[in-house]
Amino acid sequence: MATSPNATATSEIELDAVVVGAGFGGIYALKKLRDEHGLHVLAFDKAGGVGGTWYWNRYPGALSDSESHVYCYSWDKALYQEWEFKTKYVPQAEVLSYLQSVVERHDLMKDIRLETGITSAVFDDARRKWVVTTDAGETYLAKYFITALGLLAATNIPEIPGLASFEGEVYHTSRWQPETSFEGKRVGVIGTGSTGVQFITAVAPQVRHLTVFQRSPQYSVPIGNGPISKEELADIHRDFDAIWDQVRGSALAFGFEESDIGTFSVSDEERKAIFDRAWKKGGGFRFMFETFNDIATNEAANKAAQDYIRGKIDEIVKDPETARKLKPKDLHAKRPLCDSGYYEIFNRDNVTLVHVGSEETPIERITSTGVVTSDGVEHELDMLVFATGFDAVDGNYKRMELRGRNGMLIQDHWKTGPTSYMAVATANFPNMFMVLGPNGPFTNLPPSIEAEVEWIADTIGYMEDNAIATLEPQPQAEEAWVQTCEDIANQTLFPKAESWIFGANIPGKKNTIYFYMGGLAAYREALKQVTQDGFRGFILEKTSENQPA
């Protein structure tokens, strides 16, 4: 039975469920558990507003690289059919306003506690409940602990000697203050991932001088953003069912049909024409997956895509030395990027590219006035911006005290890298349900978030209806799922490129498998099968006894 929120003698406030995070994941989890299952739930976020990623990432140029009509929820059809999608790709402020509208429409704010960080969550073995503590000193007791902590939310600022001595302004893009002015300033940006590419392109025209510190050159293609016409909007609203059926039945959930033809199944001319069309149309995932079916799996096909993009860099960038530095030599096997005129930016007089990869002039130290590279040059700056990404996937799990059965710390359970069973649960942490936990689908994320939240809510519903006290994965089921993820990833080229997808961006972080690359359709089917097989791979304990159900 659901409980009423009340304070116990020990000042623990009793709830049925605690949700951490108020982004796409936490908002939906709160809605489902509260309104469909009648549970007493509170959601917490350390942010000053809802929106998660889109609350924090207010840097100039911040934009989704999923198309707007699939970078939203499908569970609120009425809102979808009212929503005025303005542009093909959706800027930060629009995603934020969309998520705020969802919260308002469903009266969720009254059950969200903002500016409240969860500092610890400890499973109490005797009571079979989670004891959750906030940074305001409150303690909550809840049967279910839902973590929607974000997979790109724990900021990464590299330890560069001398950083503390810098006397100018310092920012990380995901902690941006929108009122920051660039006027008359010499700005340096470290990082040329998706964020860096967006930031650099947006601010170059606003600054006195921009110095781009690039450690690894990137393959990027045009995004192809633009307004959505009235007719297109009407189609989107009308085709709701077909759009979402296609998304759920696809691998990447990006709203386009993934190609089923091989790179070398066509003539050289035809291949070029297909790449030309993709370049013109725009979209990083479209370029990699809508053109041919083997760019991410076959080295020769991958090289064809690389060569095409390198050719474009040569065409666009006027200075041959800058073009040389911008051209990647390795595989095109990081999360694909797209941009609004990135390579063109390097033709501007006020932009300098400094290649800080180990083979060129790495950053040696930061001084009070700038960044010194290994050639002894000091790049003088008024502002230094870190676009250096995130401690992805498990970063926020390690930033709180998280203990499962017998006081086991998550860091100990995950000492060889973060793992899960089906991305939603991990052994030794009963009734802890993860949204976008490790080994989850590598897709446009809202549809995967929906699949996970729906499975979690249905499972909690089953537990409530059947007097189940705890549910947790069998360790061997978790090992098998991780093995599945590894086997699938190894059929692709992604593990061969160093990026956050495999934990390679953080010094000392375990380089391992963080994603399920089998696609959303297969993942949804696997979740369904687990339930149909009586929660195969899970241990269920009855409320009345300490025996497996």
Taking alpha carbons only, the member of 154, 159, 17, 85 closest to residue 453 is: 17
Comparison of 333 and 400: residue with beta carbon closer to ligand FAD:
400
- 195 lies in the binding site for ligand NA7 (CB under 6 A): yes
Place of tokens 């001084």: 367
Under 8 Å between Cβ of 56 and 174: yes
Q: Identify the residue among 96, 118, 132, 427 touching ligand FAD (CB under 6 A).
A: 118
Give the up-direction half-sphere exposure of residue 355: CA atoms within 13 A in the CB hemisphere. Answer: 15
Give the up-direction half-sphere exposure of residue 26: CA atoms within 13 A in the CB hemisphere. Answer: 31
Environment class of residue 445 by beta-carbon count within 10 Å: exposed (0-12), middle (13-18) or buried (19+)?
A: buried
- 327 lies in the binding site for ligand NA7 (CB under 6 A): no
- 295 lies in the binding site for ligand FAD (CB under 6 A): no
Q: What is the DSSP letter of 33?
A: I
Strands in 446-522 per DSSP E: 468-473, 515-516
Comparison of 194 and 201: residue with beta carbon closer to ligand NA7:
194
Q: Identify the residue among 356, 381, 463, 493 touching ligand NA7 (CB under 6 A).
A: 356
Q: Which does 53 bind (CB under 5 to 8 A by kind): ligand FAD, ligand NA7, none?
A: ligand FAD
The letter for the amino acid at 341 is: G
Q: How far is the CB of 500 from ligand NA7 (least distance, A)?
A: 4
Contacts 24+ apart (CB under 8 A), 484-489: 484/516, 484/518, 485/439, 485/513, 485/515, 485/516, 485/517, 485/518, 486/513, 488/516, 488/517, 488/518, 489/513, 489/515, 489/517
- 517 lies in the binding site for ligand NA7 (CB under 6 A): no
- 335 lies in the binding site for ligand NA7 (CB under 6 A): yes
- 271 lies in the binding site for ligand NA7 (CB under 6 A): no
Residues 420-449 that bind ligand FAD (CB under 6 A): 435-436, 444-445, 449
- 501 lies in the binding site for ligand FAD (CB under 6 A): no
Q: How far is the CB of 200 from ligand NA7 (least distance, A)?
A: 11
For residue 339, what are the contacts with CB-CB under 8 A and spacing of at least 6? Answer: 197, 198, 201, 220, 221, 222, 223
Comparison of 195 and 448: residue with beta carbon closer to ligand NA7:
195
Q: Which does 220 bind (CB under 5 to 8 A by kind): ligand NA7, ligand FAD, none?
A: none
Residue nearest to ligand NA7 (CB): 193
Q: Taking the CB of residue 11, how many other CB atoms lie within 10 A of it?
A: 9
Q: How far is the CB of 514 from ligand NA7 (least distance, A)?
A: 12
Site size toward ligand FAD (CB under 6 A) is: 35
For residue 181, what are the contacts with CB-CB under 8 A and spacing of at least 6? Answer: none
- 225 lies in the binding site for ligand FAD (CB under 6 A): no
Comparison of 389 and 404: residue with beta carbon closer to ligand NA7:
389
Q: Which does 523 bind (CB under 5 to 8 A by kind): ligand NA7, ligand FAD, none?
A: none
- 188 lies in the binding site for ligand NA7 (CB under 6 A): no
Q: Which does 62 bind (CB under 5 to 8 A by kind): ligand FAD, ligand NA7, none?
A: ligand FAD
Tokens of 501: 């997808």
Distances from the Cα of 233 to the Cαs of 83, 228, 402, in angstroms?
Answer: 9, 6, 45
Q: How far is the CB of 184 from ligand NA7 (least distance, A)?
A: 26
- 51 lies in the binding site for ligand NA7 (CB under 6 A): no
Distance (Å, whole) CA 305 – CA 502: 22
Q: Identify the residue among 17, 18, 24, 199 touching ligand FAD (CB under 6 A).
A: 24
Distance (Å, whole) CA 411 – CA 416: 9
Taking alpha carbons only, the member of 97, 103, 24, 56 closest to residue 444 is: 24
The letter for the amino acid at 371 is: V
Q: Which does 117 bind (CB under 5 to 8 A by kind): ligand NA7, ligand FAD, none?
A: ligand FAD
Give the residues across from 470 on adjacent strands.
Answer: 541
Q: How far is the CB of 254 from ligand FAD (least distance, A)?
A: 8
The three-class DSSP label of residue 274 is helix
Environment class of residue 399 by beta-carbon count within 10 Å: exposed (0-12), middle (13-18) or buried (19+)?
A: middle
Distances from the Cα of 501 to the Cαs of 276, 363, 437, 438, in angstroms?
Answer: 28, 24, 13, 11
Distance (Å, whole) CA 486 – CA 492: 10
- 387 lies in the binding site for ligand NA7 (CB under 6 A): yes
Stretch of 200-208, 262-270, 280-288, 381-389 contacting ligand NA7, by CB under 6 A: 381-389
Residues 496-515 that bind ligand NA7 (CB under 6 A): 500, 505
Q: Identify the residue among 263, 322, 388, 420 touching ligand NA7 (CB under 6 A).
A: 388
Comparison of 60 and 370: residue with beta carbon closer to ligand FAD:
60
- 194 lies in the binding site for ligand NA7 (CB under 6 A): yes
**Sites of contact with ligand NA7 (CB under 6 A):** 152, 158, 190-196, 213, 215-216, 335, 356, 363, 387-389, 500, 505
**Sites of contact with ligand FAD (CB under 6 A):** 20-26, 44-47, 52-53, 55, 57, 62, 64-66, 71, 117-118, 148-150, 152-153, 195, 396, 400, 435-436, 444-445, 449
